[in-house]
Chains A and B, each alone.
Chain A
């Protein structure tokens, strides 16, 4: 046991040194001292509960994706049939019951229709996304396959994540984290954000912008009751408009969608000081808008945002310049938000905020201060107790404890883990429990001395006999810690991280390092008795 070859010492000190050095940038940051830029700078990340900021968990409803997908398929089918040479006439198209069905006017078109739809039903990944069956020789029914729906949800979530990222970037916040979680969730973490209302507002908007012709044939009283002529649908006015509560009937097809925008910008109309959003169409959108406005001068169209009408002005003249202005009852803030939302594109699926945790920066800083002070006092108390009880051996345990804390910090910085408020409690518990190994060893040495063993043999036996229980205890704690990490969420995981890292480091410092120091001392002084 006294035999510690130089190479072993070299490695132990080397490892310790590396970990302690890795802890330095974090300590400098905590003390508000600048760390030299030329050096590597691994940092312990502070969790949002310490640094302040917002954590928002968003969830999409996959059923909604399926509905949207059916609607898109309807458009596709109509297009394919119209473009066929000669044109295939269809009717009675419906998207109810999770499937798309339509009638062919001439049953003999079946094989041609099937041939046109076949490539559409296969997805990009060579997975069949739709099944086709023919009922009564004339009605075609398209049913989405499970693979197809899964793929659609994945695609929708991928692009939703991208849209969320763009919107948050549009807010100009620093270092947001945006991660897909599971099949239908997105985690958004924005450090330093004090008031997440604007963010939530922005993420809650799908920003689906549509321009549709108002159906002038619909009777206002019918529309109000939700009855519209075939080929039309009714939308309510947005709550912010003076017409809130009224409904507008618009033609379902032939409108323009917001995805043909290239740019949107908030502005003020100089004539009446109204807040407006100026939009710019892409080439295709511009020509469509030009046609629509030319053919419908003096007729009204509705600007529909997220299924709500924000205004229904007339086309006063053909608009062919590719730009337009949306006015409604915007505030400067809501105009700016809408511009960001339009620029980032529409969310392919509505996202609901299902969890939000926000901590103001003052509260976080206060927690760190109180936590560190408590940890400092606790450590001093533990050290005093250890030194008073075990003398020189207590001092070794104390030095090991200090190294332990530094190495945990260093590892956390190196492994890029996050320190949370419960993590600080984890540190305190580690400080209190890590010395348990030394207590076990030292008590055992006492016992062995009492039984009359000589110093070296007593120390040797102390370390040997105690290490069994130390390993077992640490392994079981490790199991509990890992399970907490796996099942835990958010800040609680930070607690598990500190505990688990602390288990490894405390075995290293309390068992290995102290043994090296004790061995060195025994070899040098060869004491005939020890005070323990």
Chain B
């Protein structure tokens, strides 16, 4: 049986020749992402903004009366302008309402608003079925925001530390930089497209961190091996060799994860869409950063083939001289 070869044997693509333009591009991407996050802001979902998301199905109607709902729910006290959209099928809706400033200092506010909205829905439409309610008070959403930031920072630092211990400090910095890029660009995309940013997205970003690290570690592991093997090879060449040698694996792993994710993206539950979409995008971002950020950073931080060879101490040197080896 002839087996499938996704990548031709013995590729020799000069990935790192374009390292400077790509690096500048990446820096710009990171800057643009943060600018977007600061200017546009993230479209916080209920988890982080507080308020409620109510999901409902119209059991007797083909299409949910979106405009009418927007008006009737918006007319309720303190609701402001609710976000009403179909969710999944045309007769299923999601109604999102953010906490008004009046909610400050009143932990019960969100719960009371939820009751007011569901009560009015139930009295306005006899065929409505409330499928789900997420109602989060300002206090809890504040804690979620804080925990999310802590989780992301702690995860990035902890894994960078691990890589420092397992490799060398330069590798730790390289991995950290690549992860910072991945997280920044993911956040930037959410700011650009104003996709709902919820707790699930934090889970997705941590999964992206994990996946991107997989790639980085595989490339780093090969770089370390080649550094020991080819003592005289110039570093850029050695990095290219390492990336090329692991290319078949990189393509194959990205592909297996992609084919696993795509069905979930297309036919999976609607409430998982954000999470799966983020991870799918992260798959590409993470693969890119492992090759174009994590690897070239090593050149600029002065990794040499001696990085993994224990330095000779003076005594050892003298011993060698005595034995006439040096």
Residues of A within 8 A of B (CB): 49, 57, 59, 194-197, 200, 204, 352-360, 362-363, 366-367, 370-371, 373-375, 377-379, 381-382, 385-386, 388-391, 421-422, 424-425, 428-429, 431-433, 435-436, 439-440, 443, 446-447, 450, 465, 468-469, 472-473, 475-477, 479-481, 483-484, 486-492, 495-496, 499, 531-532
Contact = CB atoms under 8 A, between A and B. Distances in A.
A425 to B, nearest CB: 5
Contacts of B206: 480-481, 483-484, 496
Nearest to A379: B260
A483 B317 CA distance: 46
Contact of A355 (B119, B135, B269): B135
30 contacts: A200-B111, A353-B111, A354-B111, A354-B139, A354-B140, A355-B140, A362-B129, A373-B263, A374-B266, A375-B263, A377-B267, A381-B259, A381-B260, A385-B255, A386-B256, A421-B272, A425-B272, A428-B276, A429-B257, A439-B249, A439-B252, A472-B162, A472-B221, A476-B217, A479-B155, A479-B159, A480-B207, A488-B147, A491-B200, A531-B3
A432 B111 contact: no
B79 interface: no
Contacts of A428: 260-261, 264, 276
Nearest to B247: A443
A433 B282 CA distance: 14
Contacts of B108: 204, 352-354
Contact of A425 (B158, B199, B210, B275): B275
A366 B269 contact: yes
A439 B260 contact: no
Contacts, number: 253
Nearest to B201: A492
Given A356-B135, A492-B203, A378 B110 contact: no
A447 B245 CA distance: 9
Contacts of A425: 264, 268, 272, 275-276, 279
Nearest to B271: A421
Given A421-B271, A431-B260, A489-B144, A360 B131 contact: yes
B154 interface: yes
B3 A390 contact: yes
Given A356-B111, A487-B148, A433 B211 contact: yes
B269 A370 contact: yes
Contacts of B209: 480
Nearest to A386: B256
Interface string B99-110: 000000001101
Interface centre among B133, B245, B252, B260 (most CB of A within 10 A): B260
A246 B132 CA distance: 39
A490 B140 CA distance: 12
A440 B202 contact: no
B163 interface: yes
Contact of A488 (B131, B199, B264, B268): B199
Interface in B2-29: 3-6, 9-10
9 shortest interchain CB distances as A-B pairs: A432-B260, A487-B151, A432-B257, A353-B111, A381-B259, A378-B260, A367-B269, A377-B263, A469-B221
B115 interface: yes
Interface of B: 1, 3-6, 9-10, 55, 57, 107-108, 110-111, 114-115, 118-119, 129-137, 139-140, 144, 147-148, 150-151, 154-155, 158-159, 162-163, 166, 199-200, 202-203, 206-207, 209-211, 213-214, 217-218, 221-222, 225, 245-246, 248-249, 252-253, 255-264, 266-269, 271-272, 275-276, 279
A421 B269 contact: yes
Nearest to A390: B3
A438 to B, nearest CB: 9
A443 B221 CA distance: 14
A381 B256 CA distance: 8
Contacts of B264: 371, 374-375, 378, 425, 428
Interface centre among A370, A371, A390 (most CB of B within 10 A): A370
A357 B135 contact: yes
A378 B257 CA distance: 9
Given A360-B131, A495-B200, 18 more contacts: A49-B271, A195-B130, A197-B118, A355-B135, A355-B137, A363-B132, A377-B263, A386-B256, A424-B272, A425-B264, A425-B272, A432-B258, A436-B253, A473-B217, A487-B147, A488-B151, A490-B199, A491-B199
Classify the secondary structure of B's interface with A: helix
A476 to B, nearest CB: 4
Contacts of A421: 269, 271-272
A354 B137 contact: yes
Contacts of B256: 382, 385-386, 432-433, 435-436, 439
Contacts of A352: 107-108, 111, 137
A145 B281 CA distance: 55
Classify the secondary structure of A's interface with B: helix
A488 B202 CA distance: 9
Contacts of B203: 422, 484, 488, 492, 495-496
Contacts of B221: 468-469, 472
Interface centre among B9, B209, B266 (most CB of A within 10 A): B209
Interface centre among B137, B148, B269 (most CB of A within 10 A): B269
B252 A443 contact: yes
Contacts of B150: 487
Given A360-B132, A390-B3, A443-B252, A432 B151 contact: no
Nearest to B259: A381
A200 B246 CA distance: 57
B35 to A, nearest CB: 27
B163 A367 contact: no
A358 B54 CA distance: 9
Nearest to A366: B269
Contacts of B5: 389
Contacts of B1: 391, 531
Nearest to B141: A355
A360 B272 contact: no
A429 B279 contact: yes
Nearest to A391: B3
Contacts of B207: 429, 480, 495, 499
A432 B262 CA distance: 11
A363 B211 contact: no
Interface centre among B118, B199, B268 (most CB of A within 10 A): B268
Contacts of B154: 483, 487
Contacts of A436: 214, 249, 253, 256-257
Contact of B214 (A204, A367, A433): A433
Given A356-B134, A374-B268, A429-B279, A480 B253 contact: no
Contacts of A360: 129-132
A499 to B, nearest CB: 7
B228 to A, nearest CB: 12
Contacts of A390: 3
A510 B319 CA distance: 46
Contacts of B255: 385
Contact of A388 (B4, B202, B246): B4
B113 to A, nearest CB: 11
Nearest to A477: B210
A438 B272 CA distance: 28
